[in-house]
Structure 1
Amino acid sequence: MNIKEEIHSQIVGALAGATFPIKTPDELFDALPDGANTTCRAGDVELKASDAGNVLKSDDFPFKSAKEVADIIVDRAGL
């Protein structure tokens, strides 16, 4: 599994218990185990939820699944 796949998998896992749709950034942070401090790590890459929040746009919401959140974050984070 490469770094992009590992981070994607960790984001999906972190949102496993979330209730969708998620309509706002605050709802997204609330759905994560450690909120904005939730951190995904793979190799020498570390991605905090608070950093991922910088790549999301208001028109990305609502999210319908954890996979959708992870797809957008890893794509826009340039992993």
Structure 2
Amino acid sequence: MTKSVKRQVREQIVGALKGAKFPVKTPEDLIAAFPDGENTTCRVGDLKMTAGEAALLLKASDFPFTSAKAVADLVVERAGI
């Protein structure tokens, strides 16, 4: 994946979480923070990922998250984007 795809995915995740109250302490709270819950979808070119799919990349030990950027960075890293 190109750097611009990474950047776009990060920006979409951060944008989707703009209304979230941090710290987010549980996976359930993170999913609830997305506008469409687990169905919130990030699309860049042929890449499509829902918040539910992204949540599967996270572990209980990753919590709490202190910012949308931290969520986005970890999802992008774990997804291999």
TM range (shorter): over 0.9
* 2:5 alignment partner in structure 1: 3
Runs of 4+ in 1 over 4 A off after TM superposition: none
Q: Which amino acid aligns with 1:17?
A: G
SS at match of 1:55: coil
Gaps of 5+ in 1: none
Letter in 2 for 1:55: L
In the alignment, what sits opposite 2:67?
65
Identity over the aligned pairs, expressed in percent? Answer: 56
In the alignment, does 2:58 pair up with 1:56? yes
* Structure 2 unpaired stretches of 5+: none
Cα distance in 2, alignment partners of residues 49 and 66 from structure 1: 13
Output the aligned Cα RMSD. Answer: 0.9
Q: Which residue of 2 aligns with 1:28?
A: 30
- Tell me the TM-score normalised to structure 1 length: 0.97
